[in-house]
Amino acid sequence: MAITKTSFMRGMQCEKMLWLDRHKPSLKVIPPEVQERLDQGNEFGDKAMGMFGPYEEMTVYLKGTTIPDKKAMVEKTKEHLLKGTPVIAEASFMDYNNFCAIDILRKNNDIYDMYEVKNAPEVHEQFIKDAAFQFYIAKRSGLKIGKIYIVIHGEDEKNPFVPIEVTEKAKLLYGWVNENIWRLNKLQKEKEELAVETGEQCNNPYECWYYGYCHNDQ
């Protein structure tokens, strides 16, 4: 099991969180209000796929399941890039098994611009780091990416999708991703549970779903 955007960001918040995700996921407790926000975010992301008109979605599931077939998604993405498909949703890339699925790629002459969709009223630092991880994987896979945008929720429901360019900030984080992706990959494979003291990372930037487990251990 390698690193995805989600596991990378969770590992950067807390290494123990990443370890628990792999070795003791049954301990995870997602509050109902958090699950509701996640569901709303997924719904917003699904709607955003069509913000530029017709698109091709790369999502493929393993037969008989709702588990994404990452290898099939990567191959499907390659096919559409070769065809020059104008708008690709969930464009998927893999580098040494590290994986990302970019919300939207939009063709801009001979390169693609990248859009990371967030159901939020403003751009947060975490969103830029999300985009940086995806840029890293896509670039190492050979894709030329032009501009990078975070798509946030506008005030007008008739025009809810507001792209904010973050190209320079996201691309500058390439080295930061490279420094940490291999470290986290190794840490999550450790046999012994990581010893990490509780602290600010338990709630920042998000409350950890293992909060009760770790604090009851104190």
Q: For residue 141, give both structure tokens.
A: 């896979």
Beta strands in 54-204 (DSSP E): 56-57, 87-95, 98-108, 111-117, 145-153, 161-165
The CATH number assigned to the domain with range 34-187 reads 3.90.320
pLDDT for 152: 97
Q: Mean pLDDT, 10 residues at a time, over the chain (218 residues)?
A: 92 96 95 91 95 97 94 98 98 96 96 97 96 98 97 89 98 98 95 94 93 81
pLDDT for the residue 158: 82
What does the DSSP 8-state code read for residue 24?
A: -
Residue 180 to residues 4, 35, 79, 95, 213, Cα–Cα distance (Å):
12, 28, 30, 15, 26
Token match 């104190």: residue? Answer: 218
Q: Which residues contact 188 (CB under 8 A, 6 or more apart)?
A: 1, 3, 7, 11, 18, 19, 21, 22
State residue 156's pLDDT score. Answer: 83
Domain edges within the chain: 34-187
- Among 116, 146, 147, 154, which Cα is nearest to 133's? 116
On whether the CB atoms of residues 28 and 209 are closer than 8 A, the answer is yes
Distance CA 192, CA 176 (A): 26
- What's residue 217's pLDDT? 54
Looking at the DSSP assignment, which residues form a beta bridge with residue 112? 107, 145
Greatest Cα-to-Cα distance within the chain, rounded to the nearest angstrom? 56
